[in-house]
Amino acid sequence: MTPAARVQSAIEILDSIIAAARSQGAPADRILSEWFRGHRFAGSKDRRAIRELVYGAVRACGPIPQTGRAAMLRLAESDAAIAPLFDGSNYGPAAIGVGEAAAEGGTAPQWLVDRLAASGIAGDEAAALLGRAPLDLRVNTQKASREALELPDAGERLAAPNALRFETGTQVEQWPAYREGQVEVQDHGSQLACMATQARPGETVIDLCAGAGGKTLALAAAMENSGALLAADTDRGRLSRLPPRAERAGAGLIESLLLNPGKELEALDGFVGKADAVLVDAPCSGTGTWRRNPEARWRLSDAELARYVATQARLLDIASQLVRPGGRVIYVVCSLLDEEGAGQVDAFLARNPDWQGGRPEVPLGRPRGQGMRLTPHHDGTDGFFIASIGSPC
């Protein structure tokens, strides 16, 4: 493909991403994958260049742009190589019209910029949300150690005891260590959230929003396959991906439980008052993950944020019923908005004044309310809020 044809292809893909963002359709990575499957003539260099153009344009726009062309024109303002490719050639974009406007730049839609600023995320902190995320691995201590593990690339050792960092795009899935379950892909901040759970061998631990089980696997390693570890979720598709991952990792103590939305406690009745720790990695706005999913900021609305906040409060109330006296609830969101983080914990403690708020002991982050906050700018991780809440004895 010619460079101009790559730009035009990126514009077409951006149009699909914009339409999907407005209608809560498929995410950008799936749209890209489907486009590549339908355009086999695009070679590996073409695919790489188109992907870079698409995500570069998404990051360059603050509010959702009107068109993919406007988004690409916005990117052209910071990349001088792009504008000359609007040359009207075969398979290339039409020439830029006189006075043709580019999409608006910025961090996010204005209402969301204001919410972030009210939560202490502005300036360099906000800009870092749209950077490029590195690739972090967690060494699975049930099969290897960070000190002895041999990898094609040694990586950078991070603050979490089993964390290694590599450049974006490192093909770790092709490494024998990955296929053999010695390492798992997991953001450093996510590993620190698992550390905050302080899961120990012999305990009963519940991962209440387990998803595909990334944090569950880290908890299993911390528990050294001793005790009871329940991975629960309402999403059958995501939860079904955990058993093969657990088998590869050698995590034999994990049990999975599919929950019925709105009736979670019915399925969890046998665990009421018995868990030493409950991890609530709650559904959230994902404002801390924009480095990986930059178009997510176009999908969020004030009404959807309110739904997340209500769901988080309900999950905290459920978790509080599962914990034994003297146990702990670890509340985690990959959001930097206070209503989902510090404010959510404050509201729980107001409802439950006999519970004790507490900041977890993690090697990175800064205090925020009754918890700790990790940010891309200060900590090099995804954005997280983490709090440990103690049950009365």
* CB-based contact 4:92 (threshold 8 Å): yes
Q: What is the mean pLDDT of residues 193-222?
A: 97
Same fold, 135-185 and 189-390: no
Dihedral sign for Cα atoms in the order 152, 159, 319, 272: positive
Instruction: Using pLDDT thresholds of 50, 70 and 90, give the confidence band for residue 169.
Output: confident
Residue 304 token pair: 């959807």
Please state the separation of Cα 173 from the chain's center in Å.
Answer: 19
* CB-based contact 65:74 (threshold 8 Å): yes
Q: Which of 61, 194, 334, 393 is catalytic?
A: 334
pLDDT for the residue 88: 92
Task: Give the residue extent of every domain in the chain.
Answer: 3-106, 135-185, 189-390
Q: Which residues neighbour 61 within 8 Å (Cβ) at sequence distance 6 or greater? A: 71, 74, 103, 104, 105, 106
Q: What percent of the chain has pLDDT over 70?
A: 100
Q: What is the mean pLDDT of residues 16-42?
A: 94
Q: What is the mean pLDDT of residues 152-156?
A: 93
> Whole-structure pTM over 0.75, yes or no?
yes
* CA separation for the pair 269, 272 (Å, rounded): 5
Neighbours of 320 (CB within 10 A): 18
Is domain 135-185 given the CATH code 3.30.200.20 in the classification? no
* CB-based contact 185:133 (threshold 8 Å): no
User: Any known ligand binding at 153?
Assistant: no
User: Nearest 5°: phi and psi at 353?
Assistant: -65, -15
If you search the block for the tokens 């978790």, which residue do you land on?
A: 319
Q: Name the CATH superfamily housing domain 189-390.
A: Vaccinia Virus protein VP39 (3.40.50.150)
pLDDT for the residue 358: 86
Residue 97 confidence (pLDDT) above 90? yes
Per-residue HEC secondary structure of the chain comes to CCHHHHHHHHHHHHHHHHHHHHHCCCCHHHHHHHHHHHCCCCCHHHHHHHHHHHHHHHHHCCCCCCCHHHHHHHHHCCCCCCHHHCCCCCCCCCCCCCCCCCCCCCCCCHHHHHHHHHCCCCCHHHHHHHCCCCEEEEECCCCCCCCCCCCCCCCEECCCCCEEEECCCCCHHHCHHHHCCCEEECCHHHHHHHHHHCCCCCCEEEECCCCCCHHHHHHHHHCCCCCEEEEEECCHHHHCCHHHHHHHHCCCCEEEEECCCCCHHHHCHHHCCCEEEEEEECCCCCHHHCCCCCCHHHHCCHHHHHHHHHHHHHHHHHHHHHEEEEEEEEEEECCCCCCCCHHHHHHHHHHCCCCEEECCCCCCCEEECCEEEECHHHHCCCCEEEEEEECCC
pLDDT for the residue 160: 97
* CA separation for the pair 191, 364 (Å, rounded): 11
Q: What is the mean pLDDT of residues 166-185?
A: 94
Strands 204-207 and 228-233: parallel
Residues 242-288: tens digit of each pLDDT: 999 999 999 999 999 999 999 999 999 999 999 999 999 999 999 99
Decide if 61 is catalytic. no
Residues 336-364: tens digit of each pLDDT: 999 999 999 999 999 999 999 989 999 99
User: Any known ligand binding at 269?
Assistant: no
Residue 224 token pair: 């050294």
* CA separation for the pair 161, 33 (Å, rounded): 35
How far is the CA of 361 from the CAs of 167, 342, 345, 373, in angstroms? 28, 16, 17, 12
* Summary mean pLDDT of the chain: 96
Residue 161 confidence (pLDDT) above 90? yes
**Which residues partner with 184 through β-bridges?**
138
Instruction: Using pLDDT thresholds of 50, 70 and 90, give the confidence band for residue 331.
Output: very high
Q: What is the mean pLDDT of residues 80-103?
A: 94
